Amino acid sequence: MSDLVWQHMNLCPGGDPGTVISDAALAVRDGRIMWLGAASDLPREFAAWPREDLGGAWVTPSLVDCHTHLVFGGHRADEFALRLAGASYEEIARRGGGIVSTVKATRAADENALFEAAAARLEPLLTEGVGAIEIKSGYGLELATERKMLRVARALGRRYPVSVYTTFLGAHALPPEYAGRADAYIDEVCNRMLPALADEGLVDAVDVFCERIGFTLAQSERVFEAAARHGLSVKMHAEQLSLSGGAALSARYRALSADHLEFLDEAGVQAMKEAGTVAVLLPGAYYFIRETQLPPIELLRRYEVPIALATDCNPGTSPAVSLLAMLNLGCTLFRLTVPEVLQGVTRHAARALGRSEHHGELAPGRQADFVAWSVTTLAELAYWIGRPLAARVVRAGATVY
């Protein structure tokens, strides 16, 4: 590692297009940012350092995908066909398809196969500019397979230039062997699975699917209490298909985020504001299951709840491997603004992971993780659909893509 001054760029250090430094410079030593600002203000101590010219590119912090189910076996293109023929996501789940069919495929896959399948989905995200990603378990629903998924997530973080944060989602669906015994399964999640996986260092946070086809408020609360006993932060799949009060419960447990939120009400928004819980919106899932209930964007704005956006990459509701595409969907479907979606995949997404100190912003002292975009305005990031825009992806000062 060495010293380098990156120059000739429009720098957007906070992910907010309102604050751009034109003709900026960025001094990096051993992978860390030493200084950033207008090139004309570059302090003398950096003047003699080698230079790297970015040719007038626009630079943002690396993107953060704060909600994914990237690791899973198989896919559900067959179920997609059923839905095209009229079946709803919820109907398919009730018939024993949906999440449970992915559970079968994930249990059957060995660790290598699972790694390769997930890597194929991770690569397009990374070349697009993602530098940090959350990966959930939740397709094992038994200790051994939940462990296998989380190990694969950790292994991806070692193999690829990305920070991986793992979330234990044991309470994603009721495994068939517990049919009619949901409380007994929650016992297993709280008393056996979570303690074991947390002890093995495989868990960074804990999530629950609180829904008619998931778990009740009371069951979700038991999982949150178990997480608290292990000193782990929580998040929730909340108010996705119906209003259950999950977001308000999450806020009571100081959740990092409540995610989906199409059916969120004002009381929930207010509770999230007071707790500092981030609203993670998943426009890919909204789009893919043809939801019509929009998340309460105006209320989230009025209460100034930070909004993040993520791919929710998963085989059932969002087979998406592009975070930039989510910017477009966030703007077109949710009427979010360009500054909102950009901060939604930088600053606010980092906060949804409880990692604001490490990701989502460029500042002296931080690791030099940034993307140089070949665009003429940052609005292009939300405008194009499916067009590669990252000219360079830099991690710890080194060009990785």
Residue ranges that bind ligand NIG, judged by CB under 6 A: 69, 98-99, 102, 209, 237, 240, 285, 312, 314-317
Residue 396 and residue 132: Cα distance in Å, rounded?
12
Q: Cα 293 from chain centroid?
A: 22
Task: Give the residue with the Cβ less far from ligand NIG, 25 or 210.
Answer: 210
Task: Give the residue with the Cβ less far from Fe ion, 21 or 279.
Answer: 279
Contact 351, 343 (CB under 8 A): no
Q: Which one of ligand NIG, Fe ion, none is in contact with 99 (Cβ closer than 5 to 8 A by kind)? A: ligand NIG
Tell the smallest beta-carbon distance from residue 173 to ligand NIG (Å). Answer: 8
Task: Give the residue with the Cβ less far from ligand NIG, 213 or 390.
Answer: 213
Q: Which one of Fe ion, ligand NIG, none is in contact with 334 (Cβ closer than 5 to 8 A by kind)? A: none
Tell the smallest beta-carbon distance from residue 314 to ligand NIG (Å). Answer: 5
Tell the smallest beta-carbon distance from residue 209 to ligand NIG (Å). Answer: 5
Task: Give the residue with the Cβ less far from Fe ion, 57 or 241.
Answer: 241
Task: Give the residue with the Cβ less far from ligand NIG, 316 or 397.
Answer: 316
Stretch binding Fe ion (CB under 5 A), from 50-58, 75-83, 308-316, 356-364:
308-316
Tell the smallest beta-carbon distance from residue 340 to ligand NIG (Å). Answer: 21
Residue 360 and residue 63: Cα distance in Å, rounded?
7
- Closest among 248, 155, 206, 220 to 354, alpha carbons compared: 206
Tell the smallest beta-carbon distance from residue 42 to ligand NIG (Å). Answer: 45
Tell the smallest beta-carbon distance from residue 234 to ligand NIG (Å). Answer: 16
Residue 134 contacts Fe ion per CB under 5 A:
no
Q: Which one of Fe ion, ligand NIG, none is in contact with 315 (Cβ closer than 5 to 8 A by kind)? A: ligand NIG
Give the residue closest to Fe ion by C-beta: 312
Q: Which one of ligand NIG, Fe ion, none is in contact with 209 (Cβ closer than 5 to 8 A by kind)? A: ligand NIG
Residue 128 contacts Fe ion per CB under 5 A:
no
Tell the smallest beta-carbon distance from residue 69 to Fe ion (Å). Answer: 6
Phi, psi (degrees; rounded to nearest 5) at 83: -70, -35
Q: Which one of Fe ion, ligand NIG, none is in contact with 343 (Cβ closer than 5 to 8 A by kind)? A: none
Say how many C-beta atoms besides its own lie within 10 A of residue 2's C-beta: 10
Give the residue closest to ligand NIG by C-beta: 316
Task: Give the residue with the Cβ less far from Fe ion, 134 or 142.
Answer: 134
Task: Give the residue with the Cβ less far from ligand NIG, 167 or 346.
Answer: 167
Tell the smallest beta-carbon distance from residue 35 to ligand NIG (Å). Answer: 41
Contact 26, 59 (CB under 8 A): yes
Residue 312 contacts Fe ion per CB under 5 A:
yes
Task: Give the residue with the Cβ less far from ligand NIG, 277 or 318.
Answer: 318
Task: Give the residue with the Cβ less far from ligand NIG, 114 or 390.
Answer: 114
Task: Give the residue with the Cβ less far from ligand NIG, 62 or 219.
Answer: 219
Tell the smallest beta-carbon distance from residue 169 to ligand NIG (Å). Answer: 8
Find the distance separating the first CA and the last CA of the chain, reported in whole Å: 17
Residue with tokens 């994914």: 68
Q: What is the 3-state secondary structure (H, E, C) of the chain?
A: CCEEEEEEEEECCCCCCCCCEEEEEEEEECCEEEEEEEHHHCCHHHCCCCEEEEEEEEEEECEEECCCCCCCCCCCHHHHHHHHCCCCHHHHHHCCCCHHHHHHHHHHCCHHHHHHHHHHHHHHHHHHCEEEEEEECCCCCCHHHHHHHHHHHHHHHHHCCCEEEEEEEEECCCCHHHCCCHHHHHHHHHHHHHHHHHHCCCCCEEEEEECCCCECHHHHHHHHHHHHHCCCEEEEEECCCCCCCHHHHHHHCCCCEEEECCCCCHHHHHHHHHHCCEEEECHHHHHHCCCCCCCCHHHHHHCCCCEEECCCCECCCECCCCHHHHHHHHHHHHCCCHHHHHHHCCHHHHHHCCCCCCCCCCCCCCECCEEEECCCCCHHHHHCCCCCCEEEEEECCEECC
Tell the smallest beta-carbon distance from residue 175 to Fe ion (Å). Answer: 18
Residue 369 contacts Fe ion per CB under 5 A:
no
Q: Which one of Fe ion, ligand NIG, none is in contact with 240 (Cβ closer than 5 to 8 A by kind)? A: ligand NIG
Residue 239 contacts Fe ion per CB under 5 A:
no
Binding site for Fe ion (CB under 5 A): 312
